[in-house]
Amino acid sequence: MIRYAIRRILILIPVLLAVLTITFFLVNLAPGSPFSSPKVLSAEVLANLKAKYGFDQPRAVQYWRFMARLGGFTYHSETHSYTFRPVPDFGDSIKYKGRTLNEIIGEALPVSAVLGVAAYLIALFIGLASGIASALRPNTWIDRSISAMTMLGVSIPSFVLDPRWWSPSASRCTGFRPRGSNGGGSGASSAFRLLPRSCFLHSPWRESTFLTSRA
């Protein structure tokens, strides 16, 4: 088991490198510019922006610096040197001025982690209970109902079902709003988190129910 895990981890390294390389060159070769906007920028401003973000360098140099940042090595154009931190450096945000992507991810990641883990645990509990009920009552209305809901969940992708559930629920219930909160306080926070958690239940619930009932 340990050898299998080590083998899978070692295989993951070249796969990640290949994905990062392909993604970099696909984005780099795509038409357009990250500085495109309705407001026309002067040539001097555009040149300064390209120099700041390294877009004035050859693609090979840009790729090397991109991979180095992911390894924790940040290039400083003022001193032409690298500094190392034991975390990936995703660079500065173009959309949010004065902020780094590390700061933005650091703010959003804990919220996403809490929602994801809570939804997975709830879905696992519901899925195990549904699967056990279906297995103990084969060929009954309970089994058929659970099987029908499971097959429906398997057939409909999450990106189709979740927005359909999100939109009417958010518009009809004041405690479920897609963005913002409903007035602050711990009660508002709990109600606001209930809707995205319910959307995250879709995939793990259908898988745990199907596997448990067929075990």
Q: What is the CA radius of gyration of the chain?
A: 24
The residue that leads in pLDDT, 168 or 201, is 201
Average pLDDT over residues 190-209: 60
DSSP 42: P
- Match 């780099």 to its residue by tokens: 28
pLDDT confidence band for 22 (50 / 70 / 90): very high
Q: List pLDDT tens digits, range 34-79.
A: 777 667 777 788 888 788 778 888 889 889 988 888 888 888 777 7
- Give the pLDDT of residue 52: 77
CA 97 – CA 203 distance, rounded (Å)? 36
Average pLDDT for the chain: 75
| Long-range Cβ pairs for the range 170-178 (8 Å, 24+) | 170/195
pLDDT confidence band for 213 (50 / 70 / 90): low
pLDDT exceeds cutoff 80 at 20: yes
pLDDT confidence band for 15 (50 / 70 / 90): very high
Does the predicted TM-score (pTM) go above 0.95?
no
The residue that leads in pLDDT, 127 or 67, is 67
Q: What percent of the chain has pLDDT over 70?
A: 71
Residue type at position 151 = M
pLDDT exceeds cutoff 70 at 125: yes
